[in-house]
Amino acid sequence: MELLIPIGICLLVGIALLLVEVYMPGFGLPGLAGCGLLLLGIVLTWMNFGPTVGLGLTVIVLALLAILISITVRSVAKGKLGKSEFVLNGDMAPEKNEENDDMLSLVGEVGKVITVLRPVGVAEFSCGRLNVMTEGEYIERGASVRIRKVDGTTVFVEKA
């Protein structure tokens, strides 16, 4: 019976540290310490009170952790934690890039190579100078090139 108080303290402090980790995310130290204290409390219970009481305590601790996780998930979805700066609420879809749409309109335009393309270099078009790339071919300075395709910010050209 003399170990009942230290075991209870280990379990209560362990749960408290896990709550701290849930609502104040950091480097995981409170979470690891909380898990360690819960495990210590369970092991001490198994050693001093037998496997039946130890198993019962294990089930109780797992049930408390399941409740804690469900409360956390609910809080992230609808509650105070969901409004915190630690939770991403915005859309992860890339914004529409109008500059890229403008680049797509250049497909088919003819320009002149300013630097040797091996396979990357600079070419002059009606819109200005662009960094361009070939499919691996070597194109001399001064040659005419046509924009074949635009992939993201990469402009692919071919000899005109």
Residue 148 binned pLDDT confidence (cut-offs 50, 70, 90): very high
Give tens-digit pLDDT for 45-74.
999 999 999 999 999 999 988 988 888 777
- The radius of gyration of the chain's CA atoms, rounded to the nearest angstrom, is 32
Is the domain of 129 the same as that of 74?
A: no
Q: Which residues are CB-neighbours of 100 under 8 A, at least 6 positions away? A: 150, 152, 153
Cα-to-chain-centroid distance, residue 104: 30
Query: What are the residues whose beta carbons fall under 8 Å from the beta carbon of 54, sequence distance 6 or more?
Result: 42, 45, 46, 47
DSSP 26: S
Question: Is the confidence at residue 155, as pLDDT, over 90?
Answer: yes
- Tens of pLDDT along 104-129? 888 999 999 999 999 999 999 998 99
- Is there a single domain that holds both residue 105 and residue 77? no
Tokens of 121: 């270099």
CA distance 93 to 88: 13
pLDDT for the residue numbered 80: 64
In a shared domain, residues 56 and 103 = no
Domain of residue 17: give its range. 4-83
> According to the model, what pLDDT value does residue 81 have?
60
Same domain, yes or no: 116 and 46: no
Same domain, 77 and 127: no
Query: What pLDDT was estimated at residue 90?
Result: 62
pLDDT tens digits along 66-100: 988 888 777 777 766 656 666 566 665 555 555 56
pLDDT tens per residue, range 13-33: 998 888 888 777 667 888 899
Asked whether residue 90 is assigned to any structural domain, the reply reads no
Is 114 a member of any domain?
A: yes
User: Of 59, 83, 107, which marks where a domain is finished?
Assistant: 83
> What is the b/e burial string over 73-98, where b = at least 16 CB atoms within 10 angstroms of the residue's CB?
eebbeeeebeeeeeeeeeeeeeeeee
Residue 149 has pLDDT above 60, yes or no: yes
Identify residue 96 by its one-letter amino acid code. Answer: K
What is the pLDDT, as a whole number, of residue 33?
Answer: 92
- Name the domain count of the chain: 2
**70 lies in the same domain as 45:** yes
